[in-house]
Structure 1
């Protein structure tokens, strides 16, 4: 049988091709966008207005990618990265851009997403909800790797688009209490008999203390357990073991919690290590306050909170005296929300478990409400919004960790008689290209 093929250029030859380009904008992933041979060229690390020598790494029919080699003309918006691992660690990708310009860039990306995916011609002014640009993360997952050949243990973050673990001793975007744990933790874990059986390490800063969640793939020996217990006592942190079956054992400490203060009253929300919490505590507080401001809950209203989790929005909404119904697809989170409401003495909250992306007919909560809050996963709420006529809220707040799908879903909202009244950028992850948003829709 005859075989026909088209020879591909050798990677080594292509990678040797060096060119000089000038970026004119940033793409939605934060890479500089230039032109090369009539096609779009993406260069991570290059800012608009900058000229640089680059090396081609990928050359497709419609686009190409390149690696930044040397800057020839530098933008006034460029700044020195604060992290020694920037460029090798895959966590941050915008530390070279000043924080004010980062937020302007994210506002522009949000506008472009609505222009591309929604049917809304004119957006309201985009407010920016932001907090500290560094030392903001209260939760982070670190990867581990044990090099058996050289008997070396690595604790850190993965390199961009790679399984390689970049070992670190600190991280400037973590809260200082978490960053300070990395170096002593890596040294102690390297001494364990079961070092080759360690999975990821999760660091969590709660109002109740600092947690270290250690995933283990095999049962630890008594000697290793004692070493870890001594480490936790020396570091004054809580230590939780997570098994391969995702069962949690508190080796030291108790269930963590964080507090939300509203109008001089404090609300305590307990959570388990496996539960989802917003990693940016400062922006989470601003987001909660904005949602309450926009929805303006009243004591005689019924408010539905879909994708409610453990009650991050539900309980603050219920402090107004409104009747709040929360719905979540994970039974464990529903139980946690119920527990949090009971601990707060709130009898005006009820919670249900339902797959909000599945069949919903016959659900007891699927009835008319006054107001609605949506906080879906990255997939958005496209299917769910088909049920909106049954709910008929006068207004709804949509919180999105994927604004492209928020923009897409807004088209269905507009078709059902809603208009976009307010829009805010949530800068949950400074120093990265990632953006989140919160929007208020009101019925005409």
Structure 2
């Protein structure tokens, strides 16, 4: 039988001559959009309204990517980036845009995506915003040993690269973590076995500051003692991580934790998922509870519950909560957190939420539903939940694209989108989070 093939569009990396283009808007990942010879041109670092000098560095059939050379006429919203590593580091990509304009861009992006799937005329819109700097309570620093300099580079990945940008500060980290970077880099580079070290995790918890150093192979005793001395001098808890095992070198706390205004304390494992923005996470929980309107006689199902970030504050109000999560270690931690907070009106189950849920013992009559899925969204899960028929659904999303797609399912089940909130969990970046309230007609 004859086979027919369609040739794929080839990527052409020929660099064009310099040209000047006008930027009209930002795309969903914060790059400027211009037009040239019928093609969309993506220009990272450019802002709407600016004329910019650039070179095309990648050309496809319908679009091109460009390198920004300089800005001819800066936007009124342009700012000088506060971080000295901005030009290289791939972490914060919107520091050149002032905070008010960042919020407007994220709100517009969310509304434009949602409008493709639901009418927004009668939807109540809001925003959750907080401090622009020093908001992250956790960071994972990458490491790479340089054989020429014999130094261990510590920092974040470069833009579109696996190479590491060595850093001496990070102004989006909590002050306690930011202040640790320089002394930590100096100390680590005095260790004999420094080239064997993996990533380094920094965490600020309610119970102290934690430094967790991944060590794929064991390090010598003198290095361990040097790290103990460093920990005592800087008053931090310090642990070595070998696979999933943790060796405590300094400090009495085994796990970091954080305390919520609902008088709930949650412990979490280093390396596991936790919301990194302390202020916004609390505001997000408050808003979810306010929208969900849980009552003592009701049953609330919390899907993708993690280690209980939403489940336990809701259970604290007296409502019975069923939390379901696909990561076994998170479910185990959620159960421990429930026990340590003396909450008996909550149960947790481990389950792959993209699988067939029909035989699951926890799938019983509920009154309200909360979802907090990963970036892939809850499409497969929602297709199997029509029979539950909750009165209210609160959907917390780290991907507006997935939320917009999943909205279509909920509308087909007879729900109305009543409220929509842009959540600025990560200021100085293009990342947009959201919360939506769906109410049964």
Is 1:25 the counterpart of 2:22? The answer is no
**Distance in structure 2 (CA, Å) of the matches to 1:337 and 1:52:** 51
**Distance in structure 2 (CA, Å) of the matches to 1:216 and 1:40:** 46
Alpha-carbon shift at residue 152 of structure 1 (Å): 2.2
Alpha-carbon shift at residue 256 of structure 1 (Å): 1.7
Whether the 8 Å CA contact 2:126–2:421 is kept in 1: the answer is yes
Whether the 8 Å CA contact 1:54–1:66 is kept in 2: the answer is yes
**Distance in structure 1 (CA, Å) of the matches to 2:128 and 2:104:** 12
**Distance in structure 1 (CA, Å) of the matches to 2:363 and 2:247:** 37
What residue ranges of structure 1 are gaps of 5+ in the alignment? none
Alpha-carbon shift at residue 275 of structure 1 (Å): 2.3
Secondary structure at the counterpart of residue 327 of structure 1: strand
Partner of residue 159, structure 2: 160
Q: CA RMSD in A?
A: 1.7
Partner of residue 440, structure 1: 437
TM-score (norm. length: structure 1):
0.94
**Distance in structure 1 (CA, Å) of the matches to 2:121 and 2:281:** 27
**Distance in structure 2 (CA, Å) of the matches to 1:224 and 1:79:** 43
Is 1:328 the counterpart of 2:325? The answer is yes
Please give the residue correspondences for 1:67-106 in structure 2 after superposition, counting only pairs within 5 Å: 67-106=67-106
Deviations 1:269-299 (A, max 9, x none): 1112132110111100010000010011111
Partner of residue 250, structure 1: 248
Whether the 8 Å CA contact 2:11–2:58 is kept in 1: the answer is no
**Distance in structure 2 (CA, Å) of the matches to 1:203 and 1:435:** 23
Alpha-carbon shift at residue 337 of structure 1 (Å): 1.1
Question: How many residue pairs get matched?
Answer: 432
What residue ranges of structure 2 are gaps of 5+ in the alignment? 1-6
Partner of residue 350, structure 1: 347
**Distance in structure 2 (CA, Å) of the matches to 1:350 and 1:44:** 46
Partner of residue 282, structure 2: 285
Partner of residue 388, structure 1: 385
Whether the 8 Å CA contact 1:394–1:443 is kept in 2: the answer is yes
**Distance in structure 2 (CA, Å) of the matches to 1:121 and 1:303:** 27
Secondary structure at the counterpart of residue 199 of structure 1: coil
**Distance in structure 1 (CA, Å) of the matches to 2:313 and 2:212:** 28
**Distance in structure 1 (CA, Å) of the matches to 2:436 and 2:212:** 34
**Distance in structure 2 (CA, Å) of the matches to 1:166 and 1:159:** 6
Alpha-carbon shift at residue 194 of structure 1 (Å): 1.4
**Distance in structure 1 (CA, Å) of the matches to 2:12 and 2:430:** 32
Partner of residue 151, structure 1: 150
Deviations 1:363-397 (A, max 9, x none): 11111100111011111111111222232110010
Partner of residue 425, structure 1: 422
Alpha-carbon shift at residue 335 of structure 1 (Å): 1.5
Whether the 8 Å CA contact 1:120–1:411 is kept in 2: the answer is no
**Distance in structure 2 (CA, Å) of the matches to 1:216 and 1:123:** 54
Is 1:213 the counterpart of 2:230? The answer is no
Alpha-carbon shift at residue 16 of structure 1 (Å): 5.3
Is 1:42 the counterpart of 2:42? The answer is yes
CA change 1:267–1:10 in 2 (3 A) is closer
Alpha-carbon shift at residue 342 of structure 1 (Å): 1.2
Alpha-carbon shift at residue 119 of structure 1 (Å): 4.2
CA change 1:277–1:123 in 2 (3 A) is farther
**Distance in structure 1 (CA, Å) of the matches to 2:351 and 2:60:** 44
Whether the 8 Å CA contact 1:367–1:390 is kept in 2: the answer is no
- Worse overlay, 67-76 or 411-420: 67-76
CA change 1:64–1:294 in 2 (3 A) is same
Deviations 1:66-120 (A, max 9, x none): 111121111111111111111111111111101000000001110121133x244
Please give the residue correspondences for 1:180-259 in structure 2 after superposition, counting only pairs within 5 Å: 180-243=179-242, 245-253=243-251, 254=253, 255-259=255-259
CA change 1:38–1:16 in 2 (3 A) is closer
Partner of residue 3, structure 2: none
**Distance in structure 1 (CA, Å) of the matches to 2:99 and 2:265:** 32
- Worse overlay, 270-279 or 291-300: 270-279
